[in-house]
Structure 1
Amino acid sequence: MIKGIFETHINVSNYRESASFYEKLLNIIPLYEDEKRKSTFYWVGKPGESMLGIRENYPSSLIQRQHFAFRVDLEDIASARDYLSSLGIETTNFWGESAEELVVFPFMPAVSIYFNDPDGHSIEFLAMLKDPPRPKEDMMTWDEWDRLNGRKK
């Protein structure tokens, strides 16, 4: 039975530049660099549970924008935004607007922030909310979600 996604690999234009970018991210642990294949591998979170691989021009020099999300704790979502900002990385919400006002996906429910790597790959930090899912609701701001769930007026 499938237990989760173990690894994700992305094609990058310069693996050393991308390695520098990813090594700045929270809980990205360098695992292995293969200079011959122009690849670097990282543990994401706890070693042995999830891996990210970056490969230069593999299988071709065509870089197609990809998207993937890293799970973070709810308590860390705002500090992750501040941390990325301190690195000069622009963050947005789902709608491409300022990450000062985060968006909730009611069907999960989860809240997240988005940013891009040097090749324009879309990266998301996503935190699950403890509230019950509301799949019939449209996406909304986190403040609206808190009002809907009786935490704000």
Structure 2
Amino acid sequence: MIKGLYEAHLPVSNLEASIEFYKRLGLKFAWRDEDTAFFWITEGRSWIGLWEGPEVQTPYHPSLRHIAFEVTYEDLKQSLAWLRSLQIDPVPFGSRSTVEPFIRPHQGNASVYFNDPDGNSLELLCHIEVPQGLKTITSKLSFEEWEELCRKSSD
């Protein structure tokens, strides 16, 4: 029945500034009205809606005001340089002190985080293949740690 995610929405305080920010990310502008704008994530399949209004004052929580964009593993390895080239600062995830991308073996994914101008949490995320012997690792690993573990597990 369910084939994917079609849309997600975020509150913003200034629609014009947010439109410019999401254009910098390379998302294709779809349409807007007086207080709403939509951008295609995958044209014809999924988009994000930005809504200008007082809801932007809702405090951040992982269940609110968060979207993850799918990227490739190689893109994620280059994500810090890409974000910085757009004058966007990556942010640490949770209690981490580093902004470096990291691997979650038990979830089979890797990610890096940043915020939009209103503090909405954005994530670049990719799926990873996890060797059977590494699927129980619940700690967050750097790319270097992950690739070394994968090398050792294939020996």
TM over 0.5: yes
Structure-2-length-normalised TM-score: 0.83
Instruction: Tell me what 2:47 maps to.
Output: 51
**Uncovered stretches (5+) of structure 2, i.e. residues with no partner:** none
RMSD: 2.1
Are the counterparts in 2 of residues 63 and 119 from structure 1 also a CA contact under 8 Å? no
Structure 1 segments (4+ residues) deviating >6 Å:
none
Q: Does 1:42 align with 2:39?
A: yes
Contact 2:112 2:125 in 1 (8 A): yes
Provide closer, same or farther for how the CA distance between residues 22 and 61 of structure 1 changes in structure 2, counting only shifts above 3 A: closer
The structure 1 residue matched to 2:57, chosen from 55, 62, 79, is 62
Q: What's the % identity of the aligned pairs? A: 34
Give aligned pairs, total: 146
Match of residue 141 from structure 1: 142
Give the structure 1 partner of residue 121 of structure 2. 122
Q: What TM-score results when the alignment is normalised by the length of structure 1?
A: 0.84
Structure number with higher helix proportion: 2
Structure 1 unaligned regions, length at least 5: none
After superposition, give the CA deviation of every residue in 1:95-150 in whole Å (9 maximum; x if it has no partner).
54333x42101123221110000110110001112334644212222211111111
CA distance in 2, matches of 1:80, 1:102: 8
